[in-house]
Amino acid sequence: MIFWKFSRPHTIIGSVVSILTLYLLALKNTEYTNHLPLLMATLVVGISCNIFIVGLNQIIYVELDKLNKPDLPLASGVLSLQTANRIIRVCFGISLIGSFLLS
């Protein structure tokens, strides 16, 4: 639950919707229909990148979030800065390596 709140689910929903929309738009212009593994890999990369971005934002602005968004895990102290750093490093690595493998 802490990870879910840290990842800011409303931003993940936006990323998933945009990736699915672009996938469907691209799919209508091709005869090849077995793109599901590519879609799944793209979703993993996109979500990982999203978590990296919102996590980095929370780390940088933790003092401001203590005033404006005290319910966030990092600002409230439920999540440590060290753990948040680990999360964003892993997500950055997944998104970077995954995008390299997809290209």
CA 87, CA 95: separation in Å to the nearest integer? 12
Report the pLDDT value the prediction gives residue 32, as an integer from 0 to 100: 67
CA 48, CA 58: separation in Å to the nearest integer? 15
pLDDT of the chain, 103 residues: tens digit per residue: 899 999 999 999 999 999 999 988 888 877 766 788 899 999 999 999 999 999 999 999 999 999 999 999 999 999 999 999 999 999 999 999 999 999 8
- pTM score, two decimals? 0.90
Structural domain range at position 64: 2-102
> Which two three-digit tokens encode residue 81?
């800065």
Q: Give me the number of domains the chain comprises.
A: 1
CA 36, CA 19: separation in Å to the nearest integer? 12
